[in-house]
Amino acid sequence: MRKPASASRIPAHKSTKMPTKTPTHTPTTMESRRRLLRMALGMLAPAELLTACGGGSASGAAATSSTTTTTATTGTTTGTTVGTTTGTTTGTTSGTTTGVTTGVSNIATDPWSWRTAGTSTTASLPSMADFVTVIASGTVAYNFHTSTTSSTTDPVTGVMSDTSSIAILNPYMMGKYLVSNANWKAFCNAQGSSYYPSTAKTAGQYWYGGSYPAGKEQHPVLFVSLTAATAYCTWLETQIPGYRFYVPTEGEWEYAALGNNTSYSFPWGVNAGITYSSSTGALSTVYNCNAVCSQYVLNSAAFATVSYYNDTVVTTLSDGSTALTNDTALLSKVLNMNASGGVTGWQYDSSANSTWADFANTDQFRTLVNLYGGYTTPAGTYEGGKSWCGCYDMAGNAYEWTNTLNLASNGAEAGTSVNVVKGGSWYATSNSGKSTGRGEGRSAAGAYHSVGFRIAARLK
């Protein structure tokens, strides 16, 4: 698993790469390169209203690109899919699609074009209709599929227990959807700008000034800490009386994802079930992992060449010897995806390959994260990825905060006590979406480009 990057580090393991390189070219050459980069990133003109990474309005008819070819899907799609959208968008639900198959898009100047230009300040509250009952009465002893050093203090009762192997669960409800940008905006409108996502203080970045990219109303909010998520839950209790809202424990989260399906690794079964055709560019998946973003990039002409102008470490292609050409590389020499959605060249971060060209250190990727908040999709897009009790996106789209402390076994936090995050994300590998995964965690005060949250509820 790769560690989701923080607000100030993209990607997290390569923080030394962020400073701008010391100019080694003549001013005229550097200015030309900078202008070309600005053109490539769509900074010289408004974003084209074309198919892109999860854009689209939160309601009404969803546009279909006439330049997009898409293989057949089952049923009707009422969420917003990546690459093309058919049908209509209804709130945050997703109709009867069993999977999402994305096709090849022809795009213009801005490689991260949006269906809707500009920013949004739409705010909305969830309702109890957005929750499902996971345990109605009594208690459930949930046996984790894997054991790790873990402890949980119940967010409601305050009782602490060892949850290394088993969790005793009380009656609770779980949010069907990740908390969205529109939900978070309602909270910020009431509680103030101090709760804006951590990127909001920098001009031109995600959520700057309290508005987020238009078309992302129903996408999960990112760059929010567990501390801020807990404050959201406290505020929501003043809006919906009679319930105690909180960030779920790891046991509650995993049980809502898998239930008693002891052989499952994902909410829908044992395997990820992703297929990709390099000849047609079509991807079939029931969740949003880095294969979805990679499919878009690999089949979009705007990414034929990627750049590393804002990087100080990448110097060669992945063979370790072929030098970059003027801080650029052909995408075909950087990123590849196999037939089961495994991505090569997404991110290199070990000491042995830190100088190799990867996608997560390109200028194009920085724009995706800093301006648009990542390659998320609307909550509820993937009907086929729904869990047994009716929760969406418990694999992919955004890692999810929990109230459980684990001894981290992955990333920079390995060996330290951190709050568990679960479920993988748009940025993570397909295997990171396994609900059974343990040992991935983050600091409660941190904010990251691939971590969001959903909330649990109990009757008061």
CATH number of the domain where residue 231 is located: 3.90.1580.10
Instruction: Round to whole Å and give the CA distance between 411 and 11.
Output: 12
Instruction: Give the confidence band of 113 by pLDDT, cuts at 50, 70, 90.
Output: low
Neighbours of 328 (CB within 10 A): 18
What phi, psi does 199 have (nearest 5°)?
-80, -10
Look at residues 110, 108, 116, 109 and name the one whose alpha carbon lies nearest to residue 85: 116
- The arithmetic mean of pLDDT across residues 109-134, rounded, is 85
- Mean pLDDT, the chain, rounded, equals 80
Q: Any idea which of 64-78, 136-150, 188-202, 330-344 has the lowest mean pLDDT?
A: 64-78
Residue 237's domain spans which residues?
A: 128-175+189-198+222-271+394-459
Name the more confident of 82 and 221: 221
Report how many domains make up the chain: 1
- The arithmetic mean of pLDDT across residues 59-72, rounded, is 28
Peptide bond connecting 111 to the previous residue in cis, omega within 30 degrees of 0: no
Helix axes 27-40, 363-372, angle to 10 degrees: 50
Q: pTM for this one?
A: 0.79
Look at residues 89, 49, 79, 90 and name the one whose alpha carbon lies nearest to residue 67: 49
Neighbours of 49 (CB within 10 A): 15
CA angle, corner 137, sides to 136 and 139, nearest 5? 115
Task: Evaluate whether residue 83 is within a structural domain.
Answer: no
State residue 414's pLDDT score: 78
Task: Evaluate whether residue 250 is within a structural domain.
Answer: yes
Name the more confident of 103 and 62: 103
Name the more confident of 414 and 108: 414
Percent of the chain beyond pLDDT 90? 66
Task: Evaluate whether residue 9 is within a structural domain.
Answer: no
Task: Evaluate whether residue 338 is within a structural domain.
Answer: no
Q: Any idea which of 80-94, 203-217, 262-276 has the lowest mean pLDDT?
A: 80-94
Instruction: Round to whole Å and give the CA distance between 164 and 47.
Output: 48
Euclidean distance between the first and the last CA atom of the chain, given in angstroms as a whole number: 38
Who contacts 116 (Cβ-Cβ below 8 Å, separation ≥6)?
A: 49, 55, 56, 57, 214, 215
Helix axes 226-239, 181-191, angle to 10 degrees: 80
Task: Evaluate whether residue 246 is within a structural domain.
Answer: yes
Task: Evaluate whether residue 341 is within a structural domain.
Answer: no
Greatest Cα pair distance in the chain: 73
Instruction: Round to whole Å and give the CA distance between 313 and 324.
Output: 11
State residue 59's pLDDT score: 29
Task: Evaluate whether residue 347 is within a structural domain.
Answer: no
Q: What is the pLDDT of residues 135-185, one digit of tens each?
A: 999 999 999 999 988 999 999 999 999 999 999 999 999 999 999 999 999
Measured CA distances, 88 to 41, 60, 94, 95, 416 (Å): 30, 6, 9, 9, 46
Instruction: Give the confidence band of 410 by pLDDT, cuts at 50, 70, 90.
Output: confident
Task: Evaluate whether residue 446 is within a structural domain.
Answer: yes
